[in-house]
Amino acid sequence: MKILFVCTGNICRSPMAEGILRNKFGNAGIKVETDSCGFESFHVGDNPDKRAQAVCGKYGIDISRHVARLFRKQDFDDFDRIYVMDSSHYYSVSRMARSAGDMTKVDYLLNIIYPGKNLPVDDPWYHDLQAFERTYKQLDAACDSLIEMTGPGKEDTK
């Protein structure tokens, strides 16, 4: 299975989610590919926000080598699941969809925990380290649920 996370600049929420999930899948021995991207071109080529790196590092997850990139139409072909962090990302992804089939891969990340609620993952960008910690906890809980959904024997081996 291949999973993509999408946020605004690809320097906070989505690389944190990517790192958390990659770590959890690795620890569980599940073969899954993860990636992340965004829609704001200002950060293309940047590494994750230092606060995101610090919070992930606190939990033994190194996201420092991630390089921000933009979402592209090809991502619909390259990934089995595309998880967005909020409604603006959902809208942006839907505008790039080539068909209704593309959108069957897309969902709000927190719908894994709260089905059909379309709740946003808190954006910590304009806040302090505690906000990044809260966002980490939201992402961690969603990733735990993803592990349960795709545990041994359930993963797609494409």
7: annotated active-site residue: yes
The beta strands (E) that lie in the chain are given as: 2-7, 33-38, 81-84, 106-108
What lies within 8 Å, CB to CB, of 129 at 6+ separation is 51, 54, 55
Identify whether the C-beta of residue 157 lies closer than 8 Å to the C-beta of residue 39.
no
The per-residue pLDDT for 125 is: 87
Name the catalytic one among 7, 12, 37, 56.
Answer: 7
The per-residue pLDDT for 158 is: 34
13: annotated active-site residue: yes
Angle at 135 between CA 114 and CA 41, to 5 degrees: 105
One pLDDT digit (tens) per residue for the chain, 158 residues: 999 999 999 999 999 999 999 999 999 888 889 999 999 999 998 999 999 999 999 999 999 999 999 999 999 999 999 999 999 999 999 999 999 999 999 999 999 999 999 999 999 988 888 999 999 999 999 999 998 887 655 544 33
Name the catalytic one among 80, 102, 107, 123.
Answer: 123
Does the model's pTM come out above 0.85? Answer: yes
Name the catalytic one among 13, 22, 51, 81.
Answer: 13
The per-residue pLDDT for 31 is: 87
> For residue 48, what are its two tokens?
């994750």
- Alpha carbon distance 83, 17 (integer Å): 10
The per-residue pLDDT for 157 is: 35
Closest to 52 (Cα-Cα) out of 138, 135, 151: 135
- Alpha carbon distance 83, 71 (integer Å): 12
